[in-house]
């Protein structure tokens, strides 16, 4: 049985979000607002099908995908660039490669104890987020 990420998760730490957003070309004013946010993730996992809904007081972002099936991602409300994205398992880690204009773009989710971890990558920047169950 694979690990189950399902649940509602609240952000408790957010390391180098500023660097990640700068690598994505997010403007100064938007970065100042965005780095104050404490987003919540609602993850639904049903076999190989996932939905990850990231919500905040400023912007929301909803992603749906199936493991191993490449999809068009629009990053609407984030940097608005389109990517060809693919999510796969690497042991108990969920790995997304977001191929497009930005090199080395992607993310990894895993569970550690009771916490949900997320590494967000773009170019040479890595943002590390940790979430606890709501
Ligand atoms: C949606 C809450 C954050 C809103 C930030 C608003 C503006 C900043 C613009 C771009 C920054 C890039 C990403 C924001 C960081 C988190 C949003 C979702 C990141 C993501 O790809 O999550 C994955 C893995 O959980 C699922 O989409």
Query: Is the interface score ipTM higher than 0.95?
Result: yes
The token duo for 128 is: 């590390």
Instruction: Of 96, 127, 106, 123, give the one whose Cα is nearest residue 25.
Output: 123
Ligand 1 pocket by C-beta < 6 Å: which residues? 21, 24, 26, 30, 34, 37, 39, 41, 52, 54, 56, 58-61, 63, 78-79, 107, 118, 120
Strands (E), 29-113: 40-46, 49-55, 61-66, 71-73, 83-90, 93-99, 106-112
**Residue 78, burial from CB neighbour count under 10 angstroms (0-12, 13-18, 19+):** middle
At 1, the pLDDT band (50, 70, 90 cuts) reads low
Instruction: Of 35, 4, 37, 34, give the one whose Cα is nearest residue 109.
Output: 4
Span 18-42, mean pLDDT? Answer: 98
The token duo for 31 is: 């970065």
Sole residue written with tokens 């607002």: 33
Q: What residue's CA is closest to ligand 1, atom 27?
A: 63
Please tell me the pTM assigned to this model: 0.98
Span 71-94, mean pLDDT? Answer: 98
């Amino acid at each position: 049985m694979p690990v189950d990420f399902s649940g509602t998760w609240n952000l408790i730490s957010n390391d180098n979000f500023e660097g990640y957003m700068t690598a994505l070309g997010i403007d100064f004013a938007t970065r100042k607002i965005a780095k104050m946010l404490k987003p919540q993730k609602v993850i639904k996992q049903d076999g190989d099908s996932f939905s990850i809904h990231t919500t905040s007081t400023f912007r929301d972002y909803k992603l749906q995908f199936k493991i191993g099936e490449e999809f068009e991602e629009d990053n609407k409300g984030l940097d608005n660039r389109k990517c060809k994205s693919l999510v796969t398992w690497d042991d108990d880690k969920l790995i997304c490669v977001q191929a497009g204009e930005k090199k080395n773009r992607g993310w990894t989710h895993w569970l550690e104890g009771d916490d949900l971890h997320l590494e967000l990558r773009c170019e040479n920047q890595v943002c590390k987020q940790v979430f606890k169950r709501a």
